[in-house]
A and B are shown apart, each in its own frame.
Chain A
Amino acid sequence: MQTIKRNILAVPILVWIGLLVGIPLIFVFVLSFLSRDSLGNIVVQFTLENYQRVVDPIYLRVFLNSLLLALLTALVTLVIGYPVAYITANLDPKKRAFSIGLIMLPFWISSLLRTYGWMILLGNAGIINNVLLAIGVIDRPVPMMYKFSTTLIGTAYMLVPFMIVAIFNSVDKLDRSLLEASYDLGASKRQTFFNITLPLTIPGIAGGFTLVFIPALGLFYVSDLLGGGNTIFLGNLINTQVTRGRNRPLAAAFSIAMIIVALLVISLYSKVAKDDREGLFQ
């Protein structure tokens, strides 16, 4: 009785999220098995056709493109972000606070603006081409837009702060006496880094990987603006199926596939970071 009384206030919260997340997810799941009539209207008739199309070579390619993009985004942000987190954690307090501020500030800057900034820099009439032309390095603009790599720059740029914050937290928690012990025992800086620091910050790396990989699967506005639709990703495909193609059952099937990938990544994360008492979002 006492426990029921204690828990009763929490029920509305669970109902609220359950209603807004749980039920819509069930709807998507059901819809992904429905078919369409010749006019494109949804009819209640069970079919596996939508999932067959997910593994159809044309669409499978889109799927693989997205996985590749998300994976490369995570790797690029890790390689660029790890040193930033590591250096920042070892700065003296004043500089450290300043550096953290600069890392966090982009969270407050519109993500469209940050994507658009690259359009201005990388375009044929963009700033980088203009500067290179002006100093005579090139004699005609180098095309840099609308490539797979342009999209990769955009997603990595957008998500690198997440990677840095995740790694920073685990570098910061590192027990310094372990590093001193390692030096005292005659290990070099490099040996200490690879034998002590890196293994101990793996939960942070895994956390950053998860926080980067999942959004990178679906940032359709980045690939739309910077990739120009030359490479089609899952986010773009789902988006066009819903807004223009009006094939919602297919979009639903792709959404389910995307959620499954996300869940796989999360379960991988919880395996790697199971000793880490703090969760992804703490």
Chain B
Amino acid sequence: MRLKARRFGTFYLSLFFVALYLPVLSVILYSFNASPSTAQWTGFTFDWYRMLFRDRVIVEAFKVSMEVALITSVLSAILGTASAVISMWVTDRMKNAIQGMMILPLLIPEVALGIALLIFFNALRLPFGHLTLVLSHSLFCVPYVYIMVQLRLKEIDRSILESARDLGATTWQTVRTVILPLVIPSIITASLLALAMSLDDVIISTYMSGPKTTTLPVHIFSMMRVGVTPKVNALCTLILVGMFIVVGLSQLFNKKQHKEDL
């Protein structure tokens, strides 16, 4: 009976994972299809990838996305970490206020937040482009860095901090020499996640893009609306490969951290 239940469990799980990854694998597979239609498989080709690099709009959008994502992840790493570290010293009431403020952008539906920012930046007469994209993306990236760094800070033995103080370290010295080295792996993982989220955002970016600064996802979305073309498959596959390199890197840092913990 137990064995039967266990077998069913494995079966259900396998079925779920097949369904979870089938759409993704289909996109990758058909990026190599010589025929422009998914109706038939007419042979293997790299043509669609070649076409991508010649498409100047795509290359330009890719540049914008990368610039925005890199600035956003660095900014989020700094602000998120600072908020988490500062939270260790403030009064409980202040700590709750920070926590509430951090979670706020994650609780508002993204469309509503996007519209709100659009109206706000419009009133301020900010030029739509890199600046508005970075500001808006940091809103949903900083909270994740904050949460991840804070989880790590909770694990730190309070007595280490007390010994640092007893040995005469100032607060700033404690932060720099004790706390930061311990949370660096979390900061890196979190800022890679921020990078991924910024690179992937469609909804808020739709409202934050300028006339000449469109991000890649916003452009891909407009391509997809026209219909299925292998060029989109190829583009998505490339982004997927890039993202997996990022995940690989973050896993590497995670592993290192766990080893140090042991």
A: which residues have CB within 8 A of B? 3, 6-7, 9-10, 13-14, 16-18, 20-21, 23-25, 27-28, 31, 80, 83-84, 87-88, 90, 99, 102, 105-121, 123, 125-127, 130, 157, 160, 189, 214-215, 217-221, 224-225, 234-235, 238-239, 242-243, 248, 251-252, 255-256, 258-259, 262-263, 266, 279-282
Contact = CB atoms under 8 A, between A and B. Distances in A.
Contacts, number: 223
Contacts of A114: 23-24
Given A24-B119, A242-B115, A251-B115, A116 B13 contact: no
A20 B117 contact: yes
B220 A125 contact: no
Contacts of B135: 20
B85 to A, nearest CB: 9
B37 interface: yes
Contact of B220 (A20, A109, A112, A238): A112
A259 B109 contact: yes
A28 B202 contact: no
B110 A218 contact: yes
Contact of B101 (A17, A109, A121): A17
A28 B17 contact: no
Nearest to A189: B5
Most buried by A among B12, B23, B199, B225: B23
Contacts of A215: 109-110
Interface stretch (B44-52, B91-99, B155-163): B91-99
Interface string B132-162: 0001100100110001000100000000000
A166 to B, nearest CB: 14
25 contacts: A9-B90, A10-B86, A10-B97, A13-B82, A17-B101, A17-B104, A18-B101, A21-B105, A25-B116, A27-B123, A83-B9, A87-B9, A107-B196, A108-B247, A111-B200, A113-B236, A120-B26, A120-B38, A125-B228, A130-B38, A235-B203, A239-B206, A242-B207, A248-B115, A258-B109
A84 B16 contact: yes
Given A113-B236, A121-B26, A255-B111, A225 B119 contact: no
A110 B217 contact: yes
Contact of A259 (B108, B120, B139, B207): B108
Contacts of A31: 119
B139 A21 contact: yes
A251 B114 CA distance: 11
A7 B9 contact: no
A114 to B, nearest CB: 6
A196 B142 CA distance: 38
Interface string B116-128: 1111100100000
Given A9-B86, A109-B24, A121-B26, 9 more contacts: A6-B89, A13-B86, A14-B101, A16-B79, A21-B108, A116-B27, A120-B233, A252-B115, A279-B99
A197 to B, nearest CB: 14
Contacts of B53: none
B240 interface: yes
A130 B139 CA distance: 44
Interface residues of B, number: 80
A102 B23 contact: no
A107 B143 CA distance: 16
Main secondary structure of the interface of B (DSSP, over half): helix
B246 interface: yes
B226 to A, nearest CB: 11
A13 B115 CA distance: 23
Contacts of A99: 13
A113 B86 contact: no
A118 to B, nearest CB: 5
CB-based closest 4 A-B pairs: A117-B23, A24-B116, A24-B120, A125-B39
Contact of B23 (A84, A118, A234, A251): A118
B112 interface: yes
B107 A120 contact: no
Contacts of B232: 116
B102 interface: yes
Contacts of A9: 86, 89-90
Given A6-B90, A20-B135, A28-B115, A218 B38 contact: no
B13 A84 contact: yes
Contacts of A220: 111, 203
Contact of B217 (A14, A112, A189, A256): A112
Given A27-B123, A84-B16, A121 B22 contact: yes
B101 A13 contact: yes
B137 to A, nearest CB: 11
